Structure 1
Amino acid sequence: MKTLQEIPIEKAAPVLKLLGDKTRLTMLAMLYEGECCVCEFTEIFKMSQPSISQHLRKLRDAGVVNEERRGQWVFYSLNKDNDLYALAESIIMQLPSQIGKLEELEKNGNRVIWCG
């Protein structure tokens, strides 16, 4: 993993542009707390599955998140091996924790826990 000083501006700018979107920035902060399924994001953001998937595709294509299919579910997690992880993490650390959103999902029985 590279330190913040070693990230070329040409690589940082597109990711910063992606994170300029409130939904994607919130998604990243949530993923910092743990992996999430697409259906959890649809519940939290009250958005359609295609809209959520489009946001996640952009983050995945930039290498910021990993995608893993498990049965009928698709889970996302932060890509800690990406050269830009240090940049993403430094931004996330400036944001309020999103753990409450995940705890609310769990309380309401909408948290997907993979046991396979």
Structure 2
Amino acid sequence: MMEIEKMADICKLLGDKMRLTILTLLRERELCVCEIVDIMQTSQPNVSQHMRKLKAGGLVKEAKRGQWVYYSLAIADKPYLHELLQTLPTPSMLTAISCEQGSCCD
């Protein structure tokens, strides 16, 4: 029964369009918080709120490098999410911004 509760909580997290889009972006590569802000065209506090929920739900992990936080997927123990994320199209806006090419993290 506990496993069903965990899956229900994860499904609630995925019910938000922004969080689902962020996970789809992270499926492609690790992203800096500033990249997510630029790609999603929203504020840093808004992205941070979504990322906190995804991290609390065990779906993403973070790595701090200097003052910036980089996020990546943490779903190795959730094979059902791999299949779900693979069926979603890659958002076209992923190629629009890159920390390495720009200076958003300087």
TM-score normalised by the chain length of structure 2: 0.85
- Alignment: residue pair count: 102
1:92 maps to amino acid: L
Give the equivalent residue in structure 2 for 1:56. 51
CA shift in 2, pair 1:111/1:89, >3 Å: farther
Give the match's secondary structure for 2:97. helix
Aligned counterparts of 1:78 and 1:29: Cα–Cα separation in 2: 9
**Would the aligned equivalents of 1:66 and 1:76 in 2 still touch at CA under 8 Å?**
yes
Counterpart check, 1:26 vs 2:24: no
CA shift in 2, pair 1:92/1:110, >3 Å: farther
Counterpart check, 1:91 vs 2:84: yes
Give the equivalent residue in structure 2 for 1:105. 97
Identity of aligned residues (%): 45
Q: What does 1:63-74 correspond to in 2, within 5 Å?
A: 63-74=58-69
State the 4+ residue runs in structure 1 displaced beyond 2 angstroms: 109-113
1:55-99, Cα deviation, whole Å (9 max, x unpaired): 000000111100110112100000144x33x1221211111013x
Aligned counterparts of 1:96 and 1:110: Cα–Cα separation in 2: 25
Instruction: List alignment gaps of at least 5 residues for structure 1.
Output: 1-6
Aligned counterparts of 1:20 and 1:110: Cα–Cα separation in 2: 32
Instruction: List alignment gaps of at least 5 residues for structure 2.
Output: none
Q: C-alpha root-mean-square deviation of aligned residues, in Å?
A: 2.1
